[in-house]
Structure formats: C-alpha cells, structure tokens
Amino acid sequence: MSGSQGSRPAPGGGAGAARTGGREVSGRLPWMLVAPAVLGLAFLVLPLAGLLIRAPWSTLLQRLAEPQVLEALRLSLVSATVATAACLLLGVPLAWLLARVEFPGRRLVRALVTVPLVLPPVVGGVALLLVLGRRGLVGQWLEATFGVTLPFTTAGVIVAEAFVAMPFLVISVEGALRAADRRFEEAAATLGASRWTVFRRVTLPLIMPGVVAGAVLCWARALGEFGATITFAGNFPGTTQTMPLAVYLALETEPEAAIVLSLVLLAVSVAILAGLRDRWVAAP
Amino acid sequence: MTLHARLVVTRPAFTLDITLEVAPGEVVALLGPNGAGKTTALRALAGLLALSEGEIVLDGRPLHTLPAEHRPIGMVFQDYLLFPHLSALDNVAFGPRCQGASRAEARRTAAELLERVGLAAHAAARPRQLSGGQAQRVALARALAVRPRLLLLDEPLAALDAHTRLEIRSRLRRHLADFDGATVLVTHDPLDAMVLADRLIVIEHGAIVQQGAPGEVARRPRTDYVARLVGLNLYRGLGDGARIKVGELAFSTVEQVEGPAFVAFSPAAVALYRTRPDGSPRNLWRARIDGIERHGDNVRVHLEGPITAVADITPAAVAELDLAPGREVWASLKAAETHAYPA
C-alpha cells in the first residue's frame, strides 16, 4: 500500500521539481508584494525629499543665523543633553536592577518603565503637570520647601524630555545587560571585587556599546519631544521653546523658517542614524 | 589538612555529595564524565554556588559563610574569561587592585607574574590578541596575583589544541609545583589529571567512586568509567582464593583474592586465535567479534561472549587471522597479565 502511494505522486513531483529548479527560481517577483513595497518606500521617502526640494537654499544660512532660531537650537541641544545625562544617571541603575536583581513584582516594574514609550506624550505632559505642577502632589511640596517650580521653565523642559526618553535608554541598557556574559562578573568576584567594583570595572565597560546606543536614542527622542514639553513647559521663546515647538509655531507665520528648522532636525536625525549604524548597531 | 570540605549541592534530579581533603602544596584532580558534578563542586568551593549542606574549612577558617569576593581563592576558568576591555597586565592587576593595592603596586605585582609565566612581552596585549596558550597563562597569572590559599582550575587545558596542550600542560605542572597552597583542578581528560595531579578523585553521578594516587587509580580502576579512561578491561567477580569467577568464566590470576573482587587487564594482553590454542595460556574463552577499529598503531577488536572485552592486536595479525565482525575466535590471556584486587 505504501509502495503504490509512494509511486503515484512521483510524476507530479518531478514536474514540480523542474518548475522550481533551474533558472526560473529567480524569475518573476510577485507584484502583490513588490507594488506595496515600492509604494511604502515612496511614502516614507517623498516627504523628506519634499523638504529638501522646497528648502530656501539661497537664504538658508541667513535664516539659520536668526537669533530666534539659534536660541531654539541652543535650548534644544542643551535640554536634550541634560535630559540624557539625567536618564543615564537614573536609567542605567534602573536597568541593572531589572536585569540583575530578582525581586517580587519585577515584571510589573518593567511594564511600568515602558509605559511612557507607548503613552501619548501629551498625556505624559498632563500627568507631569498633575504631579509636578504648582498645585501638584510633589510640585506643591517642592515649591514650599525649596521654592522650585518646574512647569513653564527650562528645567520643566528637561523633566518632560527625560520622562519621555528614559524608557529608550532603560530598554537598551537592560538588553545589553541580559546579553552580557555574566561569567565575567563571576570571574571578577573570585578576584575579590565587590558588586559595585564588578559593576564599575567589568559590567559597565562590557555593556558600553549598549549604553551608548541607548543614550543616543534617548537623546534623539528628547530632541524631537513636542507633546509633553508644550503641555508641561509651555512655549516661551528663550526658556521653553525648543526646535520642534519653534517649527510648529513658525509654520503658521513663516513657512520658510519652519522648513529651515525642520532641515536642521532632519540633518541631526540622519547623523544619529549613520553614527548608530556604523559604530554600534552593525558592530559584531 | 589545609582544605577540608564537605560539599552538598541539591538540585532537582541531581545531588552532589563529596568530601575533600587537600594538603598544602597538594594538587587534587576531580575527574569524571560530563554532568558528574565536577564543575559544580569547583563553583561551590569558589562561592559562586551556594552549598545546600556541608562546610568548607580552609586553614581552620570557615569559608562557606563568605561570599566569593572574600574567599582567599584564585580561579582559572575553562575559557579563561579574561576581561576583553583590559590589557593582559591590567587583567592580572585586577585582583591586587580589588585587594586594596595602589595602581602602581598592582601593576608591579602583575608585571612580575607575567614575567614568571613568560609573557612579559605581551603585557599590553588585549585578550583577543593572545593565542589560546597565552590566554591560559594570563588567566593563571591573574588567579595567582591575589595570592590565594586555594587555587581552583576548571578544565584548564580543554580549550587548547593538541599541540599547545602538550606544552602548556608541562608549564602548568611546573607552576602548580611552585604553588604552596592547595590546588583543586577539574578535568575530564585522564592524561591531564595523571600529569598534573598528586591525587585523583573520580566523581560519577555526584559522588566519589574512587580516589588515590594517579598510578594506583590507573592500575586498579574500580568503575567502568575509570577502566575506560585508563584503557583497561575491568570485571567484577567473586574470588575463592584461587580463581575469580566472572559470570561463566573463572580467571586465573597472580594475586589471590577471597570474596568480591575486580579483575583488570590490558587490551594488549589479549591474544586471539582462529582455532583453540594449546599450551600455556590459562585463561581461554570463545568470543565473537563485534567490531574492529583502528586504535593508534594497532587495531582494536571488540569481543562479545561470556565477557565483553577489547583486544589490541597488530594490523598484520588481523590480516593473518582474517578477522571480520561476526567471526568466532578464541581469546586467551596469561595469568601474569591480569591484575586482581578486592572490590
């Protein structure tokens, strides 16, 4: 019985083998896949091309040198950098805790850490206002005790950016920690290193690529932050008006300025992507 | 005794329970098949694994209550685990730095140790620039740099190719001879164990099955695993003072044993014949050839019959006797070539 079953499909199988074998394998691409793929590519690339085509190249430098543009650029760079530094200071230990210490509710904590990642930034801004605002839970106390108010200040911009960007860093560093060979840490322990020394002299250097990649992502996210910033810190030129806010505002009054500002942000993004690719992502 | 340890580690489906005594300057090898618990024992000694029960006492001080970083140990890991971001020198200086030495002091100590293992010229090299043998020596220097009282080596030669292994083995032996603390090394290679250790402890399924000087273990194996390692045929039987009965066979041996006994003999001591031989050999049995394979310069013949045995004969003999799997032969063994001892 098995013999007759085995022999019957043979001719059909032979024809199938002929069709799939040989040069026809690399033949026609399925248009059902190629057409949407090309459309998708165009959808992603065309707007950027449009930005480049419509850019006022002749007056570019002049517009870039306008004090308001420079002010927004400076504020953006400073606040994103300070926010990234704050994220490193708090996020790396948090990632270490999540990756290396067993504690009850760890999965819940990890889920909570990633909430700002999917939360609409405006909602994040509202939440920050409720907690750190003048009448907020912690804000009230901050003002009464230290005389510090965060909303509508540059510090507020940094807080909003750090809130939105920190998950990028934590996730990246935690991934690096999980991927790192823990036996190096054991080797360090047998050499007499305390857990802090192990972290500082062995773990951190080993996961440095992950930390740098996380910091760059975090910085890029902070640089582009809009929703939480405008909600929590407002839109005051010189103190809280970062590049994305300036772009939005300029679009209503002076579209060409908006294009110039957008070009700057695009250039920064591409630079970051290129840097990540070459130095950290593609590295073995 | 400088090291006294009873190591009990209980895991689902596995229990390690062994007792170790190691004298100062003594090198003890834990030998055993994969999964026997050798590395578990070593990790327990190092403090990388908690004991379920038992104790570790080194120079009269309890060790099992201390975390790994406070134990006076040095450990060489199987794949060395040199820190990839540090130079060879800084790898070796890592331990002294952790013990509170200044940077300059630690580097001086490290440089001396690298000199001692013959790698002074490679002090600035990163681990990935070192060959396997060099990395092994840096790992040894790093372990010795903390001036340990107990040196632990996990398969120190397993990651080396055959040629390097030979050279590194003899170097390692010299360095271990210079070390005055207790040394415990783990290996599954009997040759490494024989060359490096003063005493062998054979572990199977988490328990000690045999221990003694390497020569003693090699001559008088007590389990099939050890017999295979040292390349002997081994049988358990019952001695009546004159002969030792193994299944249907009664072995004539030189040593007389009463009661449960082991009989061991080398595969080279077995002679094969197509027809029943006459004369002197006093141990003779009929066997069927189960398989034939090359074994060094000789041919190893696997025999089935009243006992399962292997015989090593010359390729010429194989041709002359026209041996092939399935063929019946006579196997003989001189009493003088057997070794009998109480089980």
**CB distance B95–A191 less than 8 Å?**
yes
Q: How far away is chain A from the Cα of B43, in angstroms, using its nearest Cα?
A: 10
Total domains in chain B come to 2
Which of A184, A192, A197 has its CB closest to that of B81?
A184
A127 falls within a domain: no
What integer pLDDT is reported at residue B253 of this predicted model? 86
A148 falls within a domain: no
Q: Where is the domain boundary, B226, B247, B266?
A: B226
Give the closest residue to A73 by CA, choosing from A256, A244, A276: A244
CATH of the domain at A208: 1.10.3720.10
Does B84 contact chain A (CB < 8 Å)?
yes
What integer pLDDT is reported at residue A11 of this predicted model? 42
Report residue A262 as tokens.
């957008």
B168 and B19 belong to one structural domain = yes
Report residue B106 as tokens.
């630690």
A88 falls within a domain: yes
Question: Could you tell me how far CA A174 lies from the centroid of its own chain?
Answer: 15
What's the rounded Cα separation, in Å, for the pair A177 and B63?
A: 30
Q: Where is the domain boundary, B164, B192, B226?
A: B226
pLDDT of residue A10 exceeding 70: no
B296 and B157 belong to one structural domain = no
Give the closest residue to A222 by CA, choosing from A143, A267, A165: A165
pLDDT of residue B97 exceeding 50: yes
Report residue A13 as tokens.
């199988």
pLDDT-derived band at A282, boundaries 50, 70, 90: very low
ipTM of the complex: 0.83
Where do runs of H (alpha helix) occur along chain A?
2-7, 10-20, 31-54, 60-64, 67-100, 106-118, 121-132, 137-146, 154-179, 183-190, 195-198, 204-224, 227-232, 243-253, 255-275
B7 and B95 belong to one structural domain = yes
pLDDT of residue B169 exceeding 60: yes
CB hemisphere CA count around A180 (13 angstroms): 26
A255 falls within a domain: yes
What integer pLDDT is reported at residue A26 of this predicted model? 67
Give the closest residue to A264 by CA, choosing from A20, A75, A124, A98: A75
What integer pLDDT is reported at residue A8 of this predicted model? 43
**CB distance A194–B69 less than 8 Å?**
yes
Among chain A, residues having any CB pair with chain B shorter than 8 Å are 181, 183-184, 186-194, 197, 201-202, 205-206, 208
**CB distance A191–B146 less than 8 Å?**
yes
B243 and B195 belong to one structural domain = no
What is the average pLDDT across A120-139?
Answer: 91
**Domain enclosing residue B212, as ranges:** 3-226
The amino acid that residue B206 corresponds to is G
Cα nearest neighbour of A201 on chain B: B94
* Main-chain dihedrals φ then ψ at residue A47, nearest 5 degrees: -60, -40
B126 and B188 belong to one structural domain = yes
> Which DSSP helix (H) or strand (E) runs through B226?
helix B224-230
B38 and B153 belong to one structural domain = yes
Q: Which residue has the tokens 């990790």?
A: B43
CATH of the domain at B58: 3.40.50.300
Residues 138-167 of B with CB under 8 A from A: 142-143, 145-146, 152
Flag whether the pTM goes above 0.95.
no
B153 and B49 belong to one structural domain = yes
B168 and B293 belong to one structural domain = no
B327 and B193 belong to one structural domain = no
> Which DSSP helix (H) or strand (E) runs through B55?
strand B53-58
**CB distance A191–B142 less than 8 Å?**
yes
CATH of the domain at B253: 2.40.50.100
Q: Where is the domain boundary, B173, B206, B226?
A: B226
A75 falls within a domain: yes
Residues 28-57 of B with CB under 8 A from A: 46-48
Q: How far away is chain B from the Cα of A202, in angstroms, using its nearest Cα?
A: 7
Q: How far away is chain A from the Cα of B35, in angstroms, using its nearest Cα?
A: 19
User: How do residues A37-89 score in pLDDT, each as one tens digit?
Assistant: 999 999 999 999 988 898 888 888 888 888 888 888 899 999 999 999 999 99
What's the rounded Cα separation, in Å, for the pair B58 and B61?
A: 5
Total domains in chain A come to 1
DSSP string, B168-212: HHHHHHHHHHH--SEEEEEES-HHHHHHH-SEEEEEETTEEEEEE
CB hemisphere CA count around B336 (13 angstroms): 2
Helix B88-98 vs helix B132-144: crossing angle, to nearest 10:
20
What's the rounded Cα separation, in Å, for the pair B55 and B236?
A: 35
Query: A128 near A205, Cβ under 8 Å?
Result: no
| B219 CB neighbour count, 10 Å cutoff | 14
What is the average pLDDT across A199-214?
Answer: 93
What's the rounded Cα separation, in Å, for the pair B217 and B58?
A: 27
User: How do residues B287-323 score in pLDDT, each as one tens digit?
Assistant: 999 999 998 888 999 999 899 999 999 988 888 888 8
**Domain enclosing residue A259, as ranges:** 64-119+153-281
Share of chain A above pLDDT 90, in %: 52
Cα nearest neighbour of B144 on chain A: A191
Instruction: Please state whether beta strands B243-246 and B249-252 pair in parallel, antiparallel, or not at all (unpaired).
Output: antiparallel
A68 falls within a domain: yes
Cα–Cα distances in Å, from A39 out to A15, A51, A52, A61? 36, 19, 20, 34
**CB distance B95–A192 less than 8 Å?**
yes
User: How do residues B108-141 score in pLDDT, each as one tens digit?
Assistant: 999 999 999 999 999 999 999 999 999 999 999 9
* Test the B interface: residue of A184, A185, A186, A191 with most B CBs within 10 Å: A191
Query: A167 near A117, Cβ under 8 Å?
Result: yes
B138 and B17 belong to one structural domain = yes
